[in-house]
Amino acid sequence: MSKQPAVYILTNCRNGTLYIGVTSNLVQRIWQHKQQDVPGFSARHGVHLLVYFELHADMYTAINREKQLKKWNRSWKLRLIEEQNPGWRDLWTDII
């Protein structure tokens, strides 16, 4: 997978705690979350399952999308995940 700006959602389990992030290197960033190399919220809550991501043409667009998603209420975020990934499977293998 190319090093393209991406917005992603991690969780610890289906309908569990959600974490929304943005990165310029999705594979590297998700690996860091999985290894708990990133101190803070994701490590404390064990959110390491990649359940949603979207690629963007540039970082400016990706950051704006991340901000938009973070403002959404929880039910909208869950619906977004369900529409793209109804089984809530870890998409890690799709990106490596």
> For strand 6-11 and strand 49-55, is the pairing parallel, antiparallel, or unpaired?
antiparallel
Average pLDDT by stretches of 10, the chain with 96 residues: 91 97 97 92 96 98 98 98 98 97
Whole-angstrom CA distances from 69 to 2, 18, 20, 50, 84 are 23, 11, 8, 16, 15
Quickly tell me which residue has 């991690």 as its tokens.
Answer: 10
**pLDDT score, position 84:** 97
Domains for the chain: give ranges and CATH numbers.
6-95 (3.40.1440.10)
Angle at 96 between CA 66 and CA 28, to 5 degrees: 55
